[in-house]
Amino acid sequence: MNNKVTSAPSNVLALLPLIAMLGFLVIGYGVFGLPIESLLLASAVVAAGVAWKMGFSWDDIQKAIIDRLAQTLPAVFILILVGGLIGSWMVGGTIPMLVYYGLKVISPEYLVLTSFLVTCMVSLCTGTSWGSAGTVGVALMGVAAGMDANLAAVAGAVVSGAYFGDKISPLSDSTNFAPVVAGTDLYSHIQHMLWTTIPAFILSALVFFFVGSSDVSADTPEKVISILANLEQLFSLNVFLILPPLLILWGAIRKLPTIPLMLAAIAIGVLNAVIFQGFSLQTALTAMISGFNASMFAGAGLGDVEIVKDVLTLVNRGGMTSMMGVVLLVFCAFSFAGTLALTGGLKVLVDTMAKGIKGTTSLIGATIVTTITVVCTTSDGKLALLIPSELFRDTYKKMKLDAKNLSRTIEDAGTIIEPLVPWTNAGVFMAATLGVSTLDYLPWAIQNYSAIFFAMIWAVTGIGIAQAKDHMKSAQPAAAM
């Protein structure tokens, strides 16, 4: 027998799961460094306890969790395929080739600008901000040190470029995670991100061109030369290796189904590995599933080639299994979110916040403030995407705004703001990797913070704000009358 209550819970009871979650994350993760997944599961237990107290049965709770997870399964499958793309493109030579030609275009005279452009290209093609900064970013900092250039400016340009790709690359885990939690699809999210990303890119490039140029001319440093030579030794670089990313780009423009498109791009990457790189089919498929690693070169007859440390950092990644951590986070997060939906805690909190939300401008502003607050308090970029999405998703629906507005805003204020906060993992990593403190490179990380200003400009003007599709359909007959 189901004994669900019909009266609304008290505000304190409804908010208890949210209060517990924030407490677990701030203390458990922020202070003691406990795994986020375990803390989200503990939060789900609290939410389930509240739901049971309200009269919901275990079947009700289980169904709420299953329904929430079922909505995310296509996006979760895409997340897994992203790992397969990276692994197959690595073993096939596509990603190494893109890094190779990216480093070839470095101009010492315009070091800050070319540092930005090269890192943009590498991060866009690899989908990793940390990997881009840890490979070509380190090489570029070596160039800057050799030229006695402005290290803070170059570091800011590297961070800007690294997060340009992390923000819009279909290979980025955060770019895939944001539409999952916001309730939209990957390519709609990426296309909508261009409204804030491209103006920020143009502004950054202009500043780096006029302010960051140098009168110093220098030869390509030894560090870059060694990386280029090592990539030439390890991979057969040719025009056919560009086919997988071209296929993805063409499919995105044509709005083809994402999953078949990604499977085709993976297959081409595997074929490139066998045909051009000399790897066996078994090795290529292993790289697709488990990720590429340097030990695989021995099977291709390159076991005697010494691998440069920066190249080693670049190639050892990818694989479908590399995405299992993100998938686990999704499952744990939505176990909590599904249970929380029964308690009404989000509704209580959002109803309280909604009193100050009068339109699109205030809604996007509230989303930005909330996202940055989560970044600063939890020091975690994934939570900065998850929590505001859960808070504001229904509000965007009520205001007839497409979910891709929400996914874009949380990326603008979450993913790319994280490296600008000194105590976050991203901020610590970038400062340690590039050898420049977070606060020193922050003014030069123009791509990262300027997107927020463009987001607010579009919110005020209504430009680049997408209406919900069902709302637009219902409005068309009235407009025709």
Residue pLDDT, tens place only, 432-477: 888 898 889 999 999 999 999 999 999 999 999 999 875 444 334 3
- Per-residue pLDDT, 417: 92
Tokens encoding 412: 């603008």
Confidence of residue 263 (pLDDT cuts 50, 70, 90): very high
For residue 463, how many other CB atoms are within 10 A of its CB? 10
Sign, CA dihedral 63-68-73-76, equals: negative
- Secondary structure (3-state) at 32: coil
Greatest Cα-to-Cα distance within the chain, rounded to the nearest angstrom: 80
> Tokens 């993992």 identify what position?
425
- Per-residue pLDDT, 2: 47
| 48: amino acid identity, one letter | A
The answer, yes or no, to whether residue 212 has pLDDT greater than 60, is yes
Burial grade of 227 (CB within 10 A; 0-12, 13-18, 19 or more):
buried
- Secondary structure (3-state) at 23: helix
Please choose, from the candidates 193, 218, 257, the residue with its C-alpha nearest in 3D space to the C-alpha of residue 447.
193
pTM strictly above 0.85: no
- Per-residue pLDDT, 214: 56
- Per-residue pLDDT, 457: 96
Residue pLDDT, tens place only, 27-82: 887 788 888 889 889 989 999 999 998 889 999 999 989 987 887 787 788 778 87
Burial grade of 199 (CB within 10 A; 0-12, 13-18, 19 or more):
middle
Tokens encoding 274: 């066998």
- Per-residue pLDDT, 99: 78
